[in-house]
Structure 1
């Protein structure tokens, strides 16, 4: 097979079928080494028969009509179609159909936001009665700063399921934001120091100590800790019109930042380095002879097929620098939306709908995620009451923070540009 040469060029041009394609994360990732083909076949006819049977059964099982049953069946049919047609993205574990269903749930949640956005504020609250008749009732204002004495009863009083949710949420964020920026050419993974050892005393040699400090302050850790502290600053600057953000000093900086957020961040980073160093070799469940071996292989199906580090390199270009800070801003918006939707749509803190909302953010499709965040923000603005005038010191602090951020970005990018020019 001959290769064509363009006019005036000595370079050979490969045929279109041999040209390298850029990765498209909307395409379905191929599943390699399939030992049970039946689990990865389409089964479209079987699914069609099952969907028809379910529709007919619930349509004629009861003579009385119920709007909720019809709505739930529409969701069921939508997810059934999505399990065949929606993209699974780059993920194949535990099964590609799981990620198609996650994307389908995200689309349904997005459509619900669009519907609520075109209602009046009271109409949006009343619409939630479709999910739970107890919703749509104004909630009493609650402040977590009523008893700021550091006592056992005060600590127990602020303990709820969201303490564990904070810890688990930051652990998952650490698994998502992972990088080794201080190692330009990563040759071999270096095991992290034990959690029981402080990095300042991990080595007595100055060179090793400096290396450990760099590893400890890698970009993924910096991004996570900056995001955690930034969120607490947001709470402090908005508590004048959001009563739930008024917290005691020990609740905000010790329980939230150090224990819940910090514990989740450090455990997540330790876990990501442990998983990255493992050698993955998967066999079929039928390869194992014992029941314990089969159960262990089944549990491994929920672990990553492979785990590659993400190279952020924020100072390599202006685009990458602001991309990294956009991730921080997007994370803060997601957290802010969760609190404000709960507050102004009159959803109790302990209601399970808050958990369902967070579950739609697991998917890998950034497009639908950004759309959801924007729709949530627009809905918050629409249902929000009249915003009170912010205190003067709040405005001054935010302006000062923005100016400091602009100067810091300018200095960091200019310093890196000068070093890069000398190196070249």
Structure 2
């Protein structure tokens, strides 16, 4: 990545290393602030200021010395800082994981004073009240700031996933997640028309459309999750690869542990969809376990961190799943998985009685639906791409499914059979 050439550089100054200059500027800035600042203001202010400068040092160090991510625009240093942000959040979660609940509450109240007099019993009502009669006034009354936030969130998620089928699978499975986890989190309960009309059609649907149109406007590469990249001999010198769909006609046996197998590809994409649902679900679980108010700054801060790390994470997952030349997952993917699992561990450890009420059957159904819906999505997308390319799909063939010949070849085959007769 460091030797990768970047075309159409507008500001050549930003593409040259400036380690010594940045080190001198940051050292002078931190030294001047540390000497001139009055430390007698308050203990809370001192701790917050110190942590801000710790994060600043992490960003500077990551921007200079961290590994390059999958993107070079607008600048590789930006994505190095994103990686440093995810590592810093992981370090915070690991610290919280090994504390007792009283210490965690003290930390939460220290950083978010509004949480001092807040508890989960103060949440009044749910969105499942007054579902009938179904009127325009009733629907309009539920159009609040959360609709705008959901629309913006799904727009960003569509620009990251870059695939209508997969992102719509994530959208449907999140609504299913809400239904299957209502017994744990009553705040997830919604009216049926709220789920279908406001959430799926308005917020998610319009947001996904805006995100995909933004990808076309920015001319970014669309991700093909249903196909793999098979470098041909003619492309070996240029390093290019062509996208194709694995078919039984290729003569390659589909192994379960082979990344090129369609079964493993379904499994990997299913894990990605499950992880997307878990990221959204952890927001509600952390709010419940840590007893944070709805207006706490922790929620938008966590959301910004996840949205920043989602772009390189999804890009590395797509490269690993679809490119034969990629032999291992990227480091950003590993850090994101650690962050996700650590969030779950923090919730489970500090409120075990809450999770003991979880229905195991609902969890199994949740996982099974993720795998089934993801498999159907990839299969339908593969069939659609083949038909769009002029390939007819035959039924009743051997193996896992047979792909028909092109129309011209099929016509010649029929003529040959007639001549033999």
User: What is the TM-score normalised by the length of structure 1?
Assistant: 0.67
Matches within 5 A, 1:26-105: 30-60=5-35, 61-64=37-40, 66-105=46-85
**Separation in structure 2 between the aligned mates of residue 41 and residue 403 of structure 1, nearest angstrom:** 46
Question: For the Cα contact (< 8 Å) 1:68–1:130, is it kept in 2?
Answer: no
Given that 1:227 and 1:331 are in contact with CA atoms closer than 8 Å, whether structure 2 keeps it comes out as yes
The match for 1:376 is 343
Residues 326-337 of structure 1 correspond to what in structure 2 (within 5 A)?
A: 326-337=271-282
Q: Which piece of structure 1 moves more, 254-263 or 389-398?
A: 389-398
Match of 1:245 in 2: 188
**1: CA distance between counterparts of 2:127 and 2:8?**
53
Q: 1:77 to 1:254 in 2, by over 3 A?
A: same
Q: Which among 96, 112, 119 is matched to residue 116 of structure 1?
A: 96
For the pair 1:161 / 2:145, whether they are aligned, the reply is: yes
Query: 2:414: which partner in 1?
Result: none
Query: Who is 1:283 aligned against?
Result: none
Q: Residues of 1 paired with 2:175 and 2:289: CA distance?
A: 20
Partner Cα separation in structure 2 for residue 402 and residue 272 of structure 1: 26
Name the CA distance, whole Å, in 2 between partners of 1:369 and 1:376.
Answer: 11
**Residues in 2 aligned to 1:422 and 1:176: alpha-carbon distance in whole angstroms:** 33
Change over 3 Å in CA distance of 1:415–1:244 after alignment to 2: farther
CA 81–95 in structure 1, closer or farther in 2 if over 3 Å, else same:
same
CA RMSD of aligned residues (A): 3.5
Match of 1:419 in 2: 401
CA distance in 2, matches of 1:399, 1:332: 11
Look up the match of 1:202.
none
Deviation at 1:245, TM superposition (A): 0.6
Name the stretch that deviates more: 85-94 or 307-316. 307-316
Q: Hey, what's the Cα distance between the residues in 2 that align with 1:407 and 1:332?
A: 16
1:262 positional shift: 1.2
Any residues of structure 2 matched to 1:213-362 within 5 Å, and which?
A: 220-276=163-219, 307-313=220-226, 316=246, 317=261, 318-361=263-306, 362=308
User: Distance in 2 between the 1:84 and 1:340 partners?
Assistant: 35
CA 1:325–1:54 in 2, change beyond 3 Å: closer, same or farther?
same
Aligned to 1:145: 128
For 1:74 and 1:396, the matched residues in 2 are separated by 42
User: What's the TM-score, normalizing by structure 2?
Assistant: 0.68
> Contact (CA 8 Å) 2:159, 2:212: kept in 1 or not?
yes
State the Cα distance separating 1:369 from its structure 2 match. 1.3
Residues in 1 aligned to 2:225 and 2:98: alpha-carbon distance in whole angstroms: 39
Any unmatched runs of 5+ in structure 1?
1-24, 179-219, 277-306
**Which deviates the most, 136-145 or 243-252?**
136-145
1:315-364 Cα offsets, whole Å, 9 max, x none, are 73222121221221111111111121122212222223211111112231
Which stretches of structure 1, 4 residues or more, deviate above 6 A after TM superposition?
Answer: 402-409, 411-416
Contact 2:93-2:342 at 8 Å conserved across structures: yes
Tell me by how many angstroms 1:222 deviates.
Answer: 2.4
Between the two proteins, the alignment pairs up a number of residues equal to 328
Contact 1:29/1:91 (CA < 8 Å) preserved in 2?
A: no
Distance 1:375 1:266, change over 3 A: same
Give the helix-richer structure, 1 or 2: 2
